[in-house]
Structure 1
């Protein structure tokens, strides 16, 4: 199964596709949405109590968000869905639907810790 990489170049995020790179959006806006260029991995006490088997050894680790982006790969289905989203923000939004979808996946990766 093919996986497509994330590419960050000249403050712009791209995702590979069968037809070449798909422009996702602005790196500075994405970093602003996630809270900055670094992310501290944390686990709530409730989560630790509910899942004592969960490996939390990475708690407290601070990761570079762009490094995490550069390790992200995507399925053909995700890339197709991403490319179908509008690339420009609507109304007064700063974040386009395309960038919002990508940032949502990025946040899932950041919140699940480093494997």
Structure 2
């Protein structure tokens, strides 16, 4: 099953596709959306209670958001969904739906800790 990489060139985020790179948005907008260039991994008591088998040894580790972004790979289905999203932000928002979808996945990865 194919996995597609995330790359960053000249401040722009791209996701690979079968037809070549898909432009997603700017690194600056992604970093602003997640709240800054670094992320400290934390686990709530609720998470610990709900998942007692969860490995929380990475708690307190601060990671670079752009490094985490570059490390992301995507399924063909995700890439197709990403490509179907508008690349331009609507009038009432600062980021495009395409970038919003990718940042949502990034946030999910950041909130889940490191494997």
TM-score tier, shorter chain, comes to: over 0.9
Question: How does 1:24-103 map onto structure 2 within 5 Å?
Answer: 24-103=24-103
Unpaired runs of at least 5, structure 1: none
Q: Distance in 1 between matches of 2:10 and 2:82?
A: 20
Q: Distance in 1 between matches of 2:74 and 2:102?
A: 10
TM-score normalised over the length of structure 2: 0.97
Unpaired runs of at least 5, structure 2: none
Question: Cα distance, 1:45 vs. partner?
Answer: 1.4
Matched residue of 1:74: which SS?
Answer: strand
Matched residue of 2:55: which SS?
Answer: coil
TM-score normalised over the length of structure 1: 0.97
| Count of residues paired in the alignment | 115
